[in-house]
Amino acid sequence: VIQQTVKNQDELARYLGVTRLTVHRALNGQPGVGQAKRQKIVQAARDLGYRPNAAARATVTGRFNAAALVLSTQSGRSTLFPGLVAGAADALAAHDMHLSIARLPDEKLTDEGYMPRVLREWTVDGLLINYNQEIPDRLVELVQRHRIPSIWINSKQPADCVYPDDFGGGLQATERLLALGHRRIAFLSFSRPQHYSGADRLGGYEQAMRAMGLTPLPVLRPARGNKLDATGDDLRPLTSEVLQGSERPTAVLTNGVREAVALMHAAAWLHLEVPRDLSIASFAESVEDDAVVPLSKMRITRTDLGRLAVKMLLEKWSCGLCRGRASPPCSRCLSRRGAVARCPVPAGAGRRT
Amino acid sequence: VIQQTVKNQDELARYLGVTRLTVHRALNGQPGVGQAKRQKIVQAARDLGYRPNAAARATVTGRFNAAALVLSTQSGRSTLFPGLVAGAADALAAHDMHLSIARLPDEKLTDEGYMPRVLREWTVDGLLINYNQEIPDRLVELVQRHRIPSIWINSKQPADCVYPDDFGGGLQATERLLALGHRRIAFLSFSRPQHYSGADRLGGYEQAMRAMGLTPLPVLRPARGNKLDATGDDLRPLTSEVLQGSERPTAVLTNGVREAVALMHAAAWLHLEVPRDLSIASFAESVEDDAVVPLSKMRITRTDLGRLAVKMLLEKWSCGLCRGRASPPCSRCLSRRGAVARCPVPAGAGRRT
DNA sequence: CTGAAAGCGCTTACAG
DNA sequence: CTGAAAGCGCTTACAG
């Protein structure tokens, strides 16, 4: 199958016997082309496989139609959740935009000279910063000072951030266990205390317990609790001990699948059936996690998180005129008022001076 | 700290009192600039924070200096391994290139009209296709026919593909268990039989067993073995049964962490200590996996895989002249012979006609 | 409603 | 070794 193709607006215009300019207007929904002619051009573009050259467009508009997912090169500090990537990529694609991966070392992220040009360097209009732990203060400051359109992912910031409702999750999970009649409910966590999510889940648990007039049990943490490499060998004594004696919890809320697995292992050793003898509830990311641990779970939908982050970034990109708010319209929107579907200028970036 | 900055070659040239062209040559390592002048320009570019506008460069060269990681929108068909992303992104960054995420539905991937323009659409020079399961034949054909520079990831193709040595892994793991004195070694798998890796790991296991004059035991698969949502409830009867009786295996090689976890659970129930009473070896992706299951593992380093994929892609991009092979040099390399570090034209794509 | 001209920032021939 | 000119494909004023 040989198919006629056209590689730029010029060829397409020549093919149709119109001006390059008319083609441009028809394809970009700008006024100045008649209905019939416009439709004909749009159809021809489709038939001949015309696709705009994104690079050329970026050169003149100063926009790249892309966002970067920023990751630390220290992988422990930036967990890459597949669902997050999918959600962000799809949300961007819905606006004809792309997602790039930018793995950056701290030297660059905290370099006064690098930050202002990070956007052009990565050919993006904004950042989705997926730096979750031990975020350098300087990074936060530089992003703000240089007004780089950014959304923080999975970390709590004063503004422009998205993260799952871990507190609500802990609350709900505990409430469900309480509704099932459990009273001795414990919280088990091996995670680094640094990340807010552990604290929030625990906080939700504690609030739910207190709301029932119960005293939260002491949090179960292994001795080497702040080490990620805690192994099952270390854990069985702890988890086994927890499950013995007449005062043992009848239900345990675990911070993650890892904890749940270790706990189930200990339970099996003691011949406790789940959930008959012991209820376990956990936070889980993916469907696959279910296969390992058959238990109640609070599902964290990272896909929605990615979508939300992109939505917020899109809002940052539009000027006041476009989003109908009080902030001043950018020069470009002013100049072609009425015809604008989306603000052509990223706020605070890419603006020509 | 206010820092003087420069936004394009023109400004930099004016600042230094030289031509735009001289700046370009100095910065791109092209001949025609004196040593002293070149160094001065390079230093000034650094001091003034000059970064080339990648979009403008792409417009004229026809190269984007980027690759796309292609994923199916059906997430089961494209597992996104964080290590892979990191490896690919870093390897590209080492060449001043970027990684984009392209999630594409089958309709597009198998569309005769879409494929030829996929590169310009995503502003990339080539594809890292991370489509692992149920790959549409048509996709393979289109990629080949339209000569889109591509490397297939985690799937076996006639050419241009990278995947871990699962066969060798199965072989080595089994040999190690044999060396420890085990003879009754079983292979446990819950994975979909569709993906080659399961078959290869099993194949390696079988070969190692036969090499010792042993007959491989029948593969252990749960009844719902080709369903990813098999839960622990289904698995305990199977795994428990496996571990009972005088003929029980003394060691089990598992296809993944999920299987290993289920097996450990069953072992705990039967009060079998690992590794005293039962050795378990497994394939594992990440360090975190270790925390759940303290056992021997064949580490699959996806980082290396990502790096290798990029290396192969870089080779595809260079013409014969640049890589010193027999294939014909591209027109651009011919025209500036001697000065070229890397071929400026992606093979089979982006070539101007 | 339509067009001729200028420009984005860069690279590539071609001429000295 | 150095420069003036033309071009990449697109968008944006400005003039009819």
Q: Does B257 touch chain A (CB under 8 A)?
A: yes
From chain B, the residues in CB contact with A297 under 8 A are none
Q: Does A94 touch chain B (CB under 8 A)?
A: no
* Beta strand ranges found along A82-218 (DSSP E): 98-104, 126-129, 150-153, 161-162, 185-188
Order of all β-strands in the sheet with A150-153: A161-162, A150-153, A126-129, A66-72, A98-104, B98-104, B66-72, B126-129, B150-153, B161-162
Distance B56 CA to D7 C1' (A): 13
Give the separation between CA A294 and CA B75, rounded to whole angstroms.
22
Q: What is the pLDDT of residue B260?
A: 82
Q: Residue A347: pLDDT band by 50, 70, 90 thresholds?
A: very low
Question: What residues contact residue A119 under an 8 Å CB cut-off, 6+ apart?
Answer: A64, A125, A126, A127, A148, A349, A350
CB B135 within 8 A of CB B155: yes
CB B16 within 8 A of CB B48: no
Q: What is the pLDDT of residue B293?
A: 53
A331–chain B nearest CA distance, Å: 20
Distance B353 CA to D8 C1' (A): 13
Contact A121 B89 (CB under 8 A): no
Question: At B239, is the secondary structure helix, strand, or coil?
Answer: helix
Q: What is the pLDDT of residue B158?
A: 86
The answer to whether the beta carbon of residue A36 comes closer than 7 angstroms to any atom of strand C is no
Distance B16 CA to D3 C1' (A): 16
- Of the candidates A267, A283, A288, the one whose C-alpha atom is nearest the C-alpha of residue A191 is A283
pTM for the structure as a whole: 0.84
Give the separation between CA A156 and CA A152, rounded to whole angstroms.
8
Counts for chain B of helices (H) and strands (E), in that order: 16, 9
The residue written with tokens 């970390």 in the block is A155
Which residue in the set B51, B101, B292 is minimally distant from A99, CB to CB? B101
Around Cβ A183, how many Cβ atoms within 10 Å? Answer: 12
Q: What is the pLDDT of residue A35?
A: 82
Q: What is the pLDDT of residue B43?
A: 87
The answer to whether the beta carbon of residue A5 comes closer than 7 angstroms to any atom of strand D is no
Render pLDDT for A31-78 as a digit per residue (tens, 0 to 9): 778 888 888 888 888 888 788 888 888 888 878 889 999 999 987 889
A vs B: CB pairs below 8 A: 168
Distance B53 CA to C6 C1' (A): 21
| Average pLDDT, integer, range A13-40 | 85
Report for A263-272, A295-304, B98-107: range of highest mean pLDDT: B98-107
Q: How many residues does chain B have?
A: 353
- Of the candidates B49, B130, B126, the one whose C-alpha atom is nearest the C-alpha of residue B83 is B130
Render pLDDT for A214-232 as a digit per residue (tens, 0 to 9): 888 877 776 554 444 444 5
* Nearest residue to D1 via alpha carbon and C1': B32
Q: What is the pLDDT of residue A102?
A: 95
Q: Which nucleotide is nearest to A32 (CA to C1')?
A: C1
Give the separation between CA A140 and CA A131, rounded to whole angstroms.
11
Q: In this structure, what are the phi and psi dihedrals at residue B132, rounded to the nearest 5 degrees?
A: -100, -30
The answer to whether the beta carbon of residue A53 comes closer than 7 angstroms to any atom of strand D is yes
Give the separation between CA B112 and CA B148, rounded to whole angstroms.
13
The answer to whether the beta carbon of residue B10 comes closer than 7 angstroms to any atom of strand C is yes
Give the separation between CA B35 and CA B43, rounded to whole angstroms.
12
Render pLDDT for A179-214 as a digit per residue (tens, 0 to 9): 888 899 999 887 766 788 888 899 999 999 999 998
Q: Does B48 touch chain A (CB under 8 A)?
A: no
Mutate to test the interface with B, among A72, A74, A103 (most CBs of B within 10 A): A103
* Beta strand ranges found along chain A (DSSP E): 66-72, 98-104, 126-129, 150-153, 161-162, 185-188, 251-254, 279-284, 296-299
Burial of B69 (0-12, 13-18, 19+ CB in 10 A): buried
The answer to whether the beta carbon of residue B20 comes closer than 7 angstroms to any atom of strand C is yes
DSSP state of A344: S
Bases on strand C under 7 Å from any protein CB: 1-5, 7-13
The answer to whether the beta carbon of residue A59 comes closer than 7 angstroms to any atom of strand D is yes
From chain B, the residues in CB contact with A294 under 8 A are 231-233
Contact A59 B64 (CB under 8 A): no
Per-residue CB contacts under 7 A with strand C, chain B residues 317-336: 332, 335-336
The answer to whether the beta carbon of residue B168 comes closer than 7 angstroms to any atom of strand D is no
Confidence check: pLDDT of A340 > 70? no
Q: Does A273 touch chain B (CB under 8 A)?
A: no
The answer to whether the beta carbon of residue B65 comes closer than 7 angstroms to any atom of strand C is no
Render pLDDT for A69-89 as a digit per residue (tens, 0 to 9): 999 998 788 988 888 999 999
The residue written with tokens 């003149």 in the block is A60
Contact B229 A287 (CB under 8 A): yes
- Where does residue A251 fall: left (phi above 0), alpha (psi -120 to 50 degrees), or beta otherwise? beta
The answer to whether the beta carbon of residue A33 comes closer than 7 angstroms to any atom of strand C is yes
* Nearest residue to C13 via alpha carbon and C1': B335
Question: At A260, is the secondary structure helix, strand, or coil?
Answer: helix
Distance of CA A150 to the CA centre of its chain: 12
Tens digit of each residue's pLDDT, chain B (353 residues): 446 777 788 888 888 888 888 888 888 888 778 888 888 888 888 888 788 888 888 888 878 889 999 999 987 889 888 889 999 999 999 888 899 999 999 999 998 878 877 887 888 889 999 998 889 999 999 998 888 889 999 988 888 899 888 888 889 889 989 988 889 999 988 776 678 888 889 999 999 999 999 888 877 776 554 444 444 455 666 667 777 777 888 899 988 877 888 888 788 888 888 778 888 888 876 655 555 555 565 666 778 889 999 988 888 876 655 554 444 545 444 444 443 444 554 443 322 22
Q: What is the pLDDT of residue A222?
A: 66
Which residue in the set A257, A258, A288 is minimally distant from B228, CB to CB? A288
The answer to whether the beta carbon of residue B23 comes closer than 7 angstroms to any atom of strand D is no
Distance A17 CA to C14 C1' (A): 34
With b meaning 16 or more CB within 10 Å and e meaning fewer, what string describes A321-334? bbeeeeeebbebbe
Give the separation between CA A261 and CA B275, rounded to whole angstroms.
18
Paired residues of A99 in beta bridges: A67, B101
Q: Looking at chain B, which residue has its C-alpha nearest residue A275?
A: B233
Give the separation between CA B304 and CA B259, rounded to whole angstroms.
25
Mutate to test the interface with B, among A115, A261, A270, A277 (most CBs of B within 10 A): A261
Bases on strand D under 7 Å from any protein CB: 1-5, 7-13
Burial of B65 (0-12, 13-18, 19+ CB in 10 A): middle
From chain A, the residues in CB contact with B66 under 8 A are 100, 123
Q: Does A56 touch chain B (CB under 8 A)?
A: yes
Q: Does B265 touch chain A (CB under 8 A)?
A: yes
